[in-house]
Amino acid sequence: MTNVGDEAPDFTVPKAGGEAYNDLEAFTLSEAVSEGPTVLAFYPAAFTSGCTAEMCAFRDSMGLFDDLDARVYGVSVDLPFAQNIWIRAENLNFPMLSDWTHEVIHAYDVVLDDMYGMIEVAQRSVFVVDTDGVVTYRWVRGDENPDFEELVGEVGDAVEEAAR
């Protein structure tokens, strides 16, 4: 299990930028963290109501993260082509990372293995990683979805602390 104080498991996955359905490039966490605090917002599946509400809450608060020189990435097991379409449909202003091999959700121990009783997806969770590659904040969903605006505010506070 990845906890606060642990070195964040490194990974390389496709990054969906949202400019077109095939807007893809490689993303490696260890290369990205040097640019500022990094938020990894894991979500079960694009195009679902809870995930859309969560990612739109991040979208609507991007000014806060921009002011802190932080990078926000949504992470799911969706294929990057679907993520690109979803980014465009919801006017999301940050990229998505495609863990289509499920390696990242296992490395961070955020596996929801029975969505709809049949498929393995990311458990809704958020990690903040500082510029040294250390996890400084961890949140994993309990029984119910939180108030997403409050969650994003809490993540913003964690990013501000990580930026110090």
Q: What is the CATH number of the domain that holds 154?
A: 3.40.30.10
The answer as to whether 102 is a domain residue is: yes
User: What's the mean per-residue pLDDT of the chain?
Assistant: 93
The answer as to whether 57 is a domain residue is: yes
CB 69 within 8 A of CB 37: yes
Domain residue limits at 156: 12-163
The answer as to whether 7 is a domain residue is: no
Q: Is the pLDDT of residue 117 over 90?
A: no
The answer as to whether 3 is a domain residue is: no
Total count of domains within the chain: 1
Confidence of residue 69 (pLDDT cuts 50, 70, 90): very high
The answer as to whether 4 is a domain residue is: no
The answer as to whether 1 is a domain residue is: no
The answer as to whether 93 is a domain residue is: yes
Question: How does pLDDT run across 51-66, given as a tens digit for each residue?
Answer: 999 999 999 999 999 9
CB 18 within 8 A of CB 98: no
- Active-site positions read 51
Alpha-carbon gap, residue 150 to 57, rounded angstroms:
9
Question: How does pLDDT run across 17-52, given as a tens digit for each residue?
Answer: 999 989 999 999 999 999 999 999 999 999 999 999
The answer as to whether 6 is a domain residue is: no
